[in-house]
Amino acid sequence: MIDSILEQIHTVLKLVSSEKLHMDFFEKEGSQILAEYERIFAICIGKSSQKSAMGIALSIGSELREGVIVDDQTELMPFPFSSKFSHFLGNHPIPDGASELAAKALSAKIADWNLSGNDLVIVSISGGTSSLICSPVAPIEMSELQNAVRQLLGSGITVTEINSIRRLVGTLHNGRLRRLMEPASVITLLQSDNAQFDLSAVGSGPTIAVNEVPSANALDILLKSQPKFHSKVSKIIDGKWTGDKFRGSHRIIELSNLDTLLQACVKVFSSHGFEVIPVDAPIGGSCHEISDSFYSSIEQNPRRGRFIYFVCGEATVSVPQGSYDLGGRCQHMAVTLSEKIMPIADATVVCFATDGCDNISGIHGAAISSLMARNMAAEFNVRQVLDVSETHPMLDSIGALITGDKTGVNLCDIYLVVC
């Protein structure tokens, strides 16, 4: 059963791949875009930026003047017209010196293009952009920002709340990247990789400037844990840049979001004979909130057989200091859900990170049958493991981890129960 479900998930991923999403967009609008501008450039930033660049190149590569890819991969995969792309290496999810260098290299490349009002820059943004091109504004130092990001990522607040801080303190965020491209026109292609509904929050808004006060939750966490950093952020808030009146036109296109993944899941699972039941759950809620919603949906349907209950979302997890590399969101969600399905015969939980990295490299998530859950409960103090967010060693010991390479997809997680 688990192998069959994973095969279907990979079919879902093909439908929502970054390469396909970009090719679909240019199939509809490519000819008009090519007719309007003298020169066309592309900037692809994020965990799926190489696949995004491939989709752009396969669509308009012969007309593309030059491009940039920023991700955390040491090598650039070969694809048609890949020689037109410069490749800069950043780091994710914690920014570092490489991220700072990538931001500076990207800025220098844009300056070299000497853009005019007759030019177009296509900017493709996917998950990880907040960190990959992070160069902190003065007077914030990289070490301070790293500590703050670690604290926020492990706090249990949403990515949107975290990005409300990151957008303020990055030299290329909150519309500052777009400012460098003036007076050229810009098309921003967004792949929303989590449960955030504010498009300006995706990647901390490199091309989208907003004048908003950061999340109160995030500020409170920083005040308690990083008071020096909080003080510097407060000064930036008081004098923050709120956006220029740009001369070049700007279109914002959302290529994919939560609904994109939902529709693909329903299509694929239904085609394999399952009755698909989307669970009404808080898509950005805690693992316990989401698992309670699953259990409620399953209880309301006494029938068993080929049913798939699923949520596409991004659960929040609180991670104690020192446990960050000992688990992942999907691993935590799978263990939490497994406690609920133990009494159900022949039930299976699968929690899958669509980008192929559940915090730990090479780990996609976890799959746990009700029998495995019962055996796990007999061998481990599961509640204690969840409390300290150290699910990876336990799941590894029972053979429940889903492994593989990064997928080139950039959407929410998939959480499902088959019973």
Q: Report H helices in 239-304.
A: 258-271, 287-299
Element of type H or E holding 376: helix 370-379
Same structural domain, 294 and 224: no
What does the block give as tokens for 286? 């805690």
301 within 8 A of 277, measured Cβ to Cβ? yes
* pLDDT at res. 87: 98
Least confident window among 260-269, 299-308, 360-369: 299-308
Same structural domain, 41 and 172: yes
Rounded mean pLDDT, 60-66: 96
- Residue 414 has phi, psi (to 5 degrees) of -115, 120
Same structural domain, 397 and 289: yes
Residue that finishes a domain, picked among 189, 222, 256? 256
Rounded mean pLDDT, 380-388: 93
Asked if residue 234 belongs to a domain, the reply is: yes
* pLDDT at res. 201: 82
Asked if residue 381 belongs to a domain, the reply is: yes
Angle at 73 between CA 71 and CA 76, to 5 degrees: 95
Same structural domain, 194 and 263: no
Same structural domain, 244 and 270: no
- Asked if the model's pLDDT at residue 408 lies above 60, the reply is yes
Q: Tell me, what CATH number does 159's domain have?
A: 3.40.50.10180
Q: Tell me, what CATH number does 266's domain have?
A: 3.40.1480.10
Strand 185-191 and strand 119-125: pairing? parallel
* pLDDT at res. 378: 95
CA max distance for the chain: 67
- Asked if the model's pLDDT at residue 237 lies above 90, the reply is no
Q: Report H helices in 115-248.
A: 129-132, 142-153, 159-169, 176-180, 216-225, 227-238
Asked if residue 4 belongs to a domain, the reply is: no
CB contact set of 43 (below 8 Å; sequence gap of 6+): 67, 68, 70, 106, 110, 121, 122, 123, 124, 177
Q: What is the pLDDT of residues 48-60, one digit of tens each?
A: 999 999 999 999 9
In 3D space, the residue among 374, 318, 321, 306 whose CA is nearest the CA of residue 343 turns out to be 374
Q: What is the pLDDT of residues 126-184, one digit of tens each?
A: 989 999 999 999 999 999 999 999 888 888 888 888 888 999 899 999 999 999 999 99
- Asked if the model's pLDDT at residue 92 lies above 60, the reply is yes
In 3D space, the residue among 176, 139, 189, 141 whose CA is nearest the CA of residue 18 turns out to be 189
How many domains in the chain?
Answer: 2
* pLDDT at res. 374: 95
Residue that finishes a domain, picked among 256, 280, 303? 256
Give the whole-number percent of the chain exceeding pLDDT 70.
96
Quick one: the chain helix, strand, coil %, rounded to 5?
Answer: 45, 20, 35
The residue to which tokens 């792949």 are assigned: 191
377 within 8 A of 34, measured Cβ to Cβ? no
Give the whole-number percent of the chain exceeding pLDDT 90.
65
SS3 assignment, position 326 = coil
- What is the C-alpha separation between 80 and 55, in angstroms, rounded? 10
Rounded mean pLDDT, 226-255: 81
Same structural domain, 243 and 296: no
Element of type H or E holding 59: helix 49-60
Asked if residue 27 belongs to a domain, the reply is: no
Residue 101's pLDDT band, with cuts at 50, 70 and 90, is very high
CA 80, distance to chain mean position in Å, is 26
Same structural domain, 238 and 323: no
* pLDDT at res. 196: 56
Same structural domain, 406 and 310: yes
- What is the C-alpha separation between 90 and 94, in angstroms, rounded? 10
- What is the C-alpha separation between 391 and 315, in angstroms, rounded? 15
Rounded mean pLDDT, 122-128: 95
What's the mean pLDDT when you consider all of the chain? 91
Same structural domain, 201 and 153: yes
Residue that finishes a domain, picked among 218, 237, 256? 256
Asked if residue 26 belongs to a domain, the reply is: no
* pLDDT at res. 332: 94
- Asked if the model's pLDDT at residue 283 lies above 60, the reply is yes
Handedness of CA 56, 58, 59, 62 (dihedral sign): positive
Asked if residue 1 belongs to a domain, the reply is: no
Rounded mean pLDDT, 109-133: 97
Q: Domain span at residue 92?
A: 37-256
Same structural domain, 120 and 243: yes
* pLDDT at res. 241: 53
Residue 30's pLDDT band, with cuts at 50, 70 and 90, is confident
Q: Give the full edge-to-edge strand order of the sheet including 401-403.
A: 275-278, 307-313, 413-418, 348-353, 363-369, 401-403
* pLDDT at res. 239: 64
* pLDDT at res. 235: 86
Same structural domain, 216 and 320: no
Torsion of CA 172, 178, 184, 185, to 10 degrees: 140
Q: What is the pTM of this model?
A: 0.92
* pLDDT at res. 392: 94
Same structural domain, 120 and 252: yes
